[in-house]
Amino acid sequence: MAIGLSTYYIGLAGQTIAYSPTIVLRHITLFFALVAWAYLLGASALFFQTKLSNSCWAYYYKKNFQELKGDIRLATAHNKVTTQNWIAGESFQTFQEASHTFVDGVSVFLNILFTVIAFTYVLGIQTSLAVCSALLLAALSMRLAKPLIHKLSNQIQLQKLDALHAVHRIWDNLFFGNQRYAEEAQHIAKQPIEQLFILIQRHKIIEQLFSCLPILIAVPIIIIVARHQVISHLASLGALVAVLPRALQLLQNIHALCTSLNNMVFLYTKIGNLDRFVAQLPKQPLIGPSDTLAIMLDCLKGPTQQVWTSNLFLGHVKRGDLPQGRFLITGHNGSGKSSLLRRIKNEYPEAILWGPNIMLGIETIEGSIGEQHWKMLLNILQNSKNNLLLLDEWDSALDHLHTKAIDEKLDALAHNHTILEVRHKHMHYTSVESCDKKS
């Protein structure tokens, strides 16, 4: 509105320049005052645009983690990396782009609307209709570009994830592999990254092609109409000269509006993909009754049964009737021991499940892998108020001394906790109370 009014007053200044310098100066003063006001409003809009982006992203990541929490089948290493890349990278960037495009799109549209109204009062209806032809062409170009942009939006988002996965694999190969591993990892990352660049560039070409086309068609129409309207009217000619800079800005705004409309189509698709993200993640199947036949639970300390079947133990978990003590889950590789822990966690959400590559708590733990495991286990055991602990290969990175120390702490907790563990070394260092055998 401020830009439209400033256009109106500079047009009036052009109309009156030949016969009233005082009125011209007054109109010019109002013009600059309205321009200053417009820039102040624009600066405040940038603040609210940032606030909009931040609040949308904060809501989104909380919503996604809430959805993820409800299904333990989603808790895979692949989904962890994908979700981190998606939330920290793709969604954050998308909400920034969306808030910028939305606020700018509304601003540019209103700028054009009020400028055209000002042109109607200053130059007449014919010139304004010529400008409106550019707007109609912009809407038509967006309609034609929509299917292409929708397709490219999907492709770019998927390709970006592939590229981020490829880059993620470079780290370990670069630091811990030899020259061959490092070169192979970077070579594999090169193709998805280049493909991503190609798609982004293709989108930009299509966006600018359809954004420039309405301007190229509308400019000759505006020139012909303006020439016919002001050729014999001195006041109209003065007004036209006065608003020429605004006419140039108006054409730039029509181009910007075309770009914003195309970006809105692009972002509409991306935001739809954001909304469907969790539903599209692959789920790791949990073991069923037939899968648990090869898995047994050996009592290490506490209960009066030495060996439990997994189905029998699952029945106790579902009923909330947890037998206290330590239970070692045994079975051959691939029999589903870790999957059984996940299924129990799914049935009993308040349980704590810990294993390799799982970081619990908010503190950053430094040191070697063994030191990290040791400090993490100590923190879990010392602060555990949960009556069900699920430990997956907790001893895999610990030496004899530290494994024995953790064993002693687990034995002490077994008096009032239920502890299920998958062992790496298949050893129990502390003196274990014998368990009564039942046939």
The verdict on 239 and 309 lying in the same domain is: no
* Rg of the Cα atoms in the chain: 34
| Sheet containing 307-309, strands listed edge to edge, beginning at the edge strand earlier in sequence | 307-309, 296-301, 325-330, 418-422, 388-392, 352-354
Contacts of 230 (CB under 8 A, 6+ apart): 123, 236, 237, 239, 240
Q: Is position 432 within any domain?
A: no
pLDDT, mean of residues 344-370: 79
In a 3-state reduction of DSSP, which class is residue 294?
Answer: coil
For residue 72, give the CATH number of its domain.
Answer: 1.20.1560.10
Are residues 365 and 375 in contact, defined by beta-carbon separation less than 8 angstroms?
yes
Task: For residue 380, give every residue at least 6 positions away whose Cβ sits within 8 Å of its Cβ, in sequence order, or none.
Answer: 352, 354, 360, 389
- Mean pLDDT value of segment 296-303: 71
User: Which is more confident, 230 or 395?
Assistant: 395
Burial class (CB in 10 A: 0-12, 13-18, 19+), 427: exposed
Is residue 33 very low, low, confident or very high in pLDDT (cuts 50, 70, 90)? very high
| 84 plus 163 within the same structural domain | yes
C-alpha distance across the termini of the chain, in Å: 87
Q: What is the pLDDT of residue 207?
A: 79
Q: What is the dihedral of CA 376, 382, 388, 394, to 10 degrees?
A: 30
Q: Is the predicted pLDDT of residue 429 greater than 60, yes or no? A: no
Domain termination site, one of 249, 280, 311? 280
Indicate whether 198 belongs to any domain: yes
Same domain, yes or no: 18 and 84: yes
Q: Is residue 104 domain-shared with residue 161, that is, in the same domain?
A: yes
What are the residues whose beta carbons fall under 8 Å from the beta carbon of 98, sequence distance 6 or more? 53, 56, 267, 270, 271
> Is residue 298 within 8 Å of 325, Cβ to Cβ?
no
Total residues belonging to the chain: 439
Q: What are the DSSP calls for 346-360, one per residue?
A: HH-TTSEEE-TT---
Q: Is residue 265 predicted with pLDDT exceeding 70?
A: yes
Q: Which domain holds residue 240?
A: 2-280
Please write the tens of the pLDDT for every residue from 397-423. 888 888 888 888 888 888 888 888 888
Per-residue confidence (pLDDT) for residue 55, from 0 to 100: 94
pLDDT grade for 235, boundaries at 50, 70 and 90: low
pTM of the model as a whole? 0.66
- My answer on whether 303 and 388 are in the same domain is yes
Computed over every residue of the chain, the mean pLDDT equals 79
Q: Are residues 103 and 197 in the same domain?
A: yes
pLDDT confidence of residue 113: 83
**Residue 427 domain-assigned (yes or no):** no
Residue 21 Cα to chain centre, angstroms: 57
pLDDT at 62 over 90: yes
Same domain (yes/no): 181, 299: no
Q: What's the structural domain count of the chain?
A: 2
Amino acid, res. 187:
H
Is residue 268 scored above 50 in pLDDT?
Answer: yes
Q: b/e for 36-52, b at 16 or more Cβ within 10 A?
A: eebeeeeeeeeeebeeb
Q: Which of 280, 300, 330 is the last residue of a domain?
A: 280
The larger pLDDT score, comparing residue 16 to residue 83, is at: 83
How confident is the model over 170-225, as pLDDT tens digits? 877 887 777 888 888 888 889 899 999 999 898 888 878 877 777 777 777 777 76
Greater pLDDT, 370 or 92? 92
Q: Grade residue 435 by pLDDT with cuts at 50, 70 and 90.
A: very low
Tell me the average pLDDT across 258-264.
78
